[in-house]
């Protein structure tokens, strides 16, 4: 039996509240669980003291017995100093897509053309007045 430390959703519509539970990985998200070891209230401010609460002793016990935390729970455990979460590297995530790159290139080209046309227009009258 694989045991996970994961979130079980509670609360009402548009007012989420999550219990941090120890559960068999085969059970549904909000289904039966073995033990409740904390809670997370995402509606609280990020620096609020009631946002995340963990029963550190029970979590350590379950992790010693082989319970694996999910990614979100591992973030909480990393903040509490109970586990180490390796940083993820996705350098292409912030990069714009192909169409956005094409639109940016077209916009840049239009701006360059407009500057060149403005430079030609401003230099042309000066040459005409000098010739007269």
Residue 117 clears pLDDT 80, i.e. is over it:
yes
Domain ranges of the chain: 3-80, 90-132
Residue 78 clears pLDDT 70, i.e. is over it:
yes
- pLDDT the model gives residue 129: 54
- pLDDT the model gives residue 131: 55
The predicted-structure confidence for 59-75, as pLDDT tens digits, reads as follows 999 999 999 999 999 99
In this prediction the pTM is 0.66
- CA pair distance 50, 46, nearest whole angstrom: 10
Furthest CA-CA distance within the chain: 95
* DSSP secondary structure of 49-99: TTSEEE-HHHHHHHHHTT-EE-HHHHHHHHHHTSS--PPP--TTTTS--HH
- pLDDT the model gives residue 128: 55
Domain 3-80: CATH class, spelled out: alpha beta
User: Distance between terminal CA atoms of the chain?
Assistant: 95
User: What does the angle CA 100 – CA 96 – CA 70 come to, to the nearest 5 degrees?
Assistant: 140
pLDDT category of residue 127 using cuts at 50, 70 and 90: low
């Amino acid at each position: 039996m694989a045991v996970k430390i994961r979130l079980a959703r509670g609360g009402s519509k548009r007012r989420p509240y999550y219990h941090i539970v120890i559960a068999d990985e085969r059970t549904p998200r909000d289904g039966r669980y073995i033990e409740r070891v904390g809670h997370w209230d995402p509606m609280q401010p990020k620096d609020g003291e009631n946002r995340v609460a963990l029963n550190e002793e029970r979590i350590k016990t379950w992790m010693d017995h082989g319970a694996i935390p999910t990614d979100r729970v591992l973030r909480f455990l990393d903040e509490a100093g109970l586990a180490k979460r390796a940083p993820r590297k996705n350098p292409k995530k912030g990069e714009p897509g192909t169409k956005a790159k094409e639109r940016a290139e077209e916009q840049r080209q239009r701006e360059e053309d407009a500057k060149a046309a403005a430079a030609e227009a401003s230099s042309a009258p000066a040459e005409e007045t000098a010739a007269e």
